[in-house]
A = this chain, B = another copy of it.
């Protein structure tokens, strides 16, 4: 570890607007006006000032400006270490960044460190949020406990949550949130399976996650509206989503009646199913059809490529950023919830019966 706080020797006096003012033979106010492209400066003066700025290599100090402006134009993207920068969230971050940079804002990346020892309820807010004036607001992604939202509200920090990952019920509690339509996703994919002639369709997904439960609901809805019996495949204790899929496949193969198609809770589970089925010599989609959820990058690389539900991840990020900016400019505005659509994409893992 380098000694922090050492190296205070060098005090590299920077060029200030006063230097520029002297060099250009004008007042400091004029420099400020030029920098903020305020109208009230004559062309001639403006040119002289810009010339001086260029000559001195002057770059305004962003920090000083921020104090006065009472706005840092920095937002924080907060992710829990649980699901640290999983490609899914990385894509959301991508959306946040692209929208932010388009509006000359910056994105600070922070991690919420849940420790296995501390209960998620009493986790401390990360230092970034504690600091005053560093960030204007927060975008929450990854696993979110409602309690965290309370804490953030308590310090009156504006925030937008990617709500699909909010764990634990929090019914009537209102805040700005962006999510996508889990329910409609599986509704579409299951309907598609039914259209293709499938009747015995199982659902394989870890229902301890609220979003997987919502996907299960979409699946059930599609089944019920076609008078079909929903079946949730219950494997024994699994370690992660892929393994959940593998264990589910074992369960399916051990069972008496074998479904002709399986709706997986997500792409990872679908991959696990595929792996295990293939290993047992069961061909996808010839013997069992398969649909996933999320449309991860890898889905298209599977063999055959996975039919799955596409989620517009960048758009989620963009929408989060957009909503946060709206909130910042209109603090009194009513809270809003935005649910983005999902779309089933046909690839190669479904067979027509």
Contact = CB atoms under 8 A, between A and B. Distances in A.
Contact of A103 (B1, B11, B77, B278): B1
A86 to B, nearest CB: 8
A151 interface: no
Interface stretch (A58-66, A178-186, A199-207): A58-66
A67 interface: yes
Given A111-B101, A132-B14, A326 B2 contact: yes
Contact of A10 (B3, B98, B331): B331
Interface residues of A, number: 64
A152 interface: no
B85 A90 contact: yes
Interface in A1-18: 1-4, 6-7, 10-12, 14
**Copies of this protein, total:** 2
A325 B331 CA distance: 38
A117 interface: no
Contact of A325 (B2, B62, B90, B126): B2
Contacts of A97: 109-111
Contacts of A111: 94, 97-98, 101
A84 interface: yes
A-B CB proximity, top 8 nearest: A7-B329, A59-B132, A85-B90, A109-B109, A62-B131, A61-B133, A62-B134, A63-B133
